[in-house]
């Protein structure tokens, strides 16, 4: 699959009911959207344990992949986006181009490289996994040291837990100053390296995905600041 633009939108809402209503109807509203290749409506959380206690009932997200920038631009005026905007107290939009991706999400490969490998600028990363139920407890025990290391990682601008469900379908979105900052954390943080080395023998995941993106635009704020 080739695609030119990836976007993450995050909305902060004051009341839970309007957000849940839009989550319930959003998938149907996305059907037939011109130029849309892939879309996931997501809950968010702190990502500290990847269990339901992390859930943030006030922040909700939409991750999309588009044919081109024109299709992504047109979506800004859609009924779905206007509906979320009308109940949002804060919004963040990050537009990206894929640098690299491996793995699948719901059985498909949603991201395909569309940016030059020589890109030198802010980097975003998406990780997503479907946990094996029989291995979930082992995974949850392994998470806290990695999260502690991530929160103090040099060059990290933003880290948000994302997921399609409170249990078993979870991931992260992170935004970094540079590729070097991301690589330093991924390959030089002892906690992260140790967890990666355990991943295959522990058989935590039934499906997994990791993707890196060149950050093209950042608009809006998350928790009061622009990352």
Residue 192 confidence (pLDDT) above 70: no
Average pLDDT rounded to a whole number, residues 36-40: 97
Domain 5-218 belongs to what architecture?
A: 2-Layer Sandwich (3.30)
Percent of the chain topping pLDDT 70: 86
Q: What is the pLDDT of residue 99?
A: 94
Question: Which residues is 125 bridged to in the sheet?
Answer: 174, 212
Query: Helix or strand or coil: residue 164?
Result: coil
- Domain boundaries along the sequence of the chain: 5-218
pLDDT attached to residue 104: 96
Tokens 């990206």 sit at which residue?
Answer: 96
CA atoms of 104 and 130, how far apart (whole Å) = 10
β-partners of residue 159 are 174
Q: What is the pLDDT of residue 51?
A: 59
Kindly state the DSSP code that residue 142 receives in the 8-state scheme. Answer: H
Q: Which of 186, 178, 214 is nearest to 99 (CA)?
A: 214
How big is the chain, counted in residues?
227
Q: What is the pLDDT of residues 83-125, one digit of tens each?
A: 999 999 999 999 999 999 999 999 999 998 887 778 889 999 9
What's the average model confidence in pLDDT over 8-35? 95
pLDDT in tens, 196-223: 666 666 677 889 999 999 999 999 999 9
Residue 132 — very low, low, confident or very high, per pLDDT cuts 50/70/90?
confident
- Residue 40's pLDDT is 96
Gap between the Cα atoms of 36 and 70, Å rounded: 11
Q: Tell me, what DSSP letter sits at residue 222?
A: B
- For residue 167, what pLDDT band results from cuts at 50, 70 and 90? low
Q: Nearest CA to 7 among 89, 156, 117, 110?
A: 110
Q: Output phi, psi for 76, to 5 deg.
A: -60, -25
Say which DSSP state 52 is in.
G
Q: In whole angstroms, what is the distance from residue 138 CA to residue 140 CA?
A: 6
Is residue 44 within 8 A of residue 162, CB to CB? The reply is yes
């Amino acid at each position: 699959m080739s695609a030119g633009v990836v976007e993450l939108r995050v909305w902060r809402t004051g009341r839970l009911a309007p957000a849940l209503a839009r989550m319930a109807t959003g998938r149907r509203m996305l059907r037939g959207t011109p130029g849309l290749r892939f879309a996931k409506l997501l809950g968010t959380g702190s990502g500290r344990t990847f269990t339901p206690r992390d859930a943030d009932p006030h922040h909700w997200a939409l991750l999309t992949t588009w044919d081109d920038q024109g299709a992504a631009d047109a979506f800004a005026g859609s009924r779905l986006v206007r509906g979320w905007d009308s109940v949002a107290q804060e919004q963040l939009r990050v537009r990206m181009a894929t640098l690299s991706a491996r793995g699948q999400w719901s059985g498909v490969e949603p991201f395909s490289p569309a940016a030059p490998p020589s890109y030198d600028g802010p980097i975003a990363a998406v990780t997503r996994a479907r946990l094996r139920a029989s291995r979930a407890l082992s995974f949850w025990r392994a998470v806290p040291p990695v999260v502690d290391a991530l929160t103090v990682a040099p060059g990290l601008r933003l880290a948000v837990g994302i997921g399609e469900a409170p249990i078993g379908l979870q991931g992260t979105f992170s935004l970094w100053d540079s590729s070097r900052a991301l690589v330093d954390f991924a390959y030089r943080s002892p906690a992260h390296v140790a967890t990666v080395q355990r991943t295959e023998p522990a058989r935590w995941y039934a499906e997994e995905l990791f993707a890196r993106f060149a950050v093209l635009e950042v608009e809006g704020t998350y928790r009061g600041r622009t990352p």
